[in-house]
Amino acid sequence: MAREIKIFPDYILREKAAEVEEFNDIGDLIEDMWETMYTCKGIGLAAPQIGIGKRIFVAEVDQKKLIMVNPVIVHKEDEELMEEGCLSLPEIYLPIPRASFIEVEGLNEKGERIRVEAEGLLSRVIQHEIDHLEGVLIIDYARPAKRVKLEKLLKELNRRR
Ligand code: ZN
C-alpha cells in the first residue's frame, strides 16, 4: 500500500533513524516503501519519508533494485556536482556534491550482510537516502542565507497544500 510522503518541515525528517534489529516484521514496510516510491515516481525512498524512523532505504536505478538496511558507507571516491530533488521537498532542486563512487555495507531485508559498489546516479541516490537516515536534507547543503530562503519557501508551499 502506498503511504503518504512526509513533507518538510515534518519533524521525522530531522530525526536520526534507529538501527533495525528485528527482521521478521519489515517485509510489509519494504513493500509499502516500493509502492510509495513508484506512486511518487521517485528513484529512492528512505523509511523516515513515510514516517518510520528505521534505517532502511529502497532505490531503483537503471532497473536495478536495491534494498538496504542499516547501511554504512565504507569508502568514497571522487566528487561530482549534480542537481537533486527530494520527494519530501517538492519543487526544490539544488546542486549537491556527492562522491561519484562508493562502497556501502549493510544488510538485506532478511538480515544477511551485503556489500554494494555504486557509481554515478546510483551512488548519488544511496548517499541521498543515507542522509535521510541521519535527518539530513538537500537544503542543508545550501549556503546559510539561501537555506533560510528555501525553508521559508517550503513552509509557504506546505501551507498551501
Ligand atoms: Zn529525499
State in Å: Cα 115 to ligand 1 middle: 22
Overall number of domains in the chain: 1
Has residue 46 been placed in a domain? yes
- Residue 23 included in any domain: yes
Comparing 55-59, 96-100, 120-124, 156-160, the range with the smallest average pLDDT is 156-160
Given the C-alpha cell 556527492, which residue does it identify? 98
- What distance in angstroms lies between residue 81's CA and the mean position of ligand 1's atoms? 16
pTM of structure? 0.96
pLDDT band at residue 155 under the 50/70/90 scheme: confident
CA of 114 to the centre of ligand 1 (A): 23
At 148 the pLDDT is: 92
Residue 52 pLDDT greater than 80, yes or no: yes
Q: What is the mean pLDDT of residues 40-51?
A: 97
Percent of the chain with pLDDT over 70: 100
Is 32 a member of any domain? yes
Residue 124 has which C-alpha cell?
Answer: 548519488
Residue 4 lies in a domain: no
Q: Which residue has the cell 557509481?
A: 119
Output the average pLDDT for the chain.
96
Active site residue 22: no
Q: Which three cell numbers stand for residue 88?
A: 519530501
Identified catalytic residue from 60, 84, 109, 129:
129
Is residue 77 within 8 A of residue 102, CB to CB? The reply is yes
> Does residue 161 surpass a pLDDT of 80?
no
Can you give the CATH number for the domain in which 146 is found? 3.90.45.10
CA–CA gap between residue 72 and residue 153 (Å, rounded):
32
What are the helix (H) ranges across the chain? Answer: 27-39, 120-133, 144-160
> pLDDT tens across 96-146, in order?
999 999 999 999 999 999 999 999 999 999 999 999 999 999 999 999 999
- Residue 30: φ, ψ to 5°: -65, -40
CB atoms under 10 Å from CB of 93, counted, come to 11
Residue 156 confidence class, pLDDT cut points 50, 70, 90: confident
Question: In Å, how far from its chain's centre is CA 46?
Answer: 4
Mean local confidence (pLDDT), 16-42:
97
Residue 39 pLDDT: 97
For position 121, what pLDDT does the model report? 97
Enclosing domain of residue 43: 11-160
Rounded distance from Cα 95 to ligand 1 centre (Å): 14
Q: How far apart are the first and last CA of the chain?
A: 22
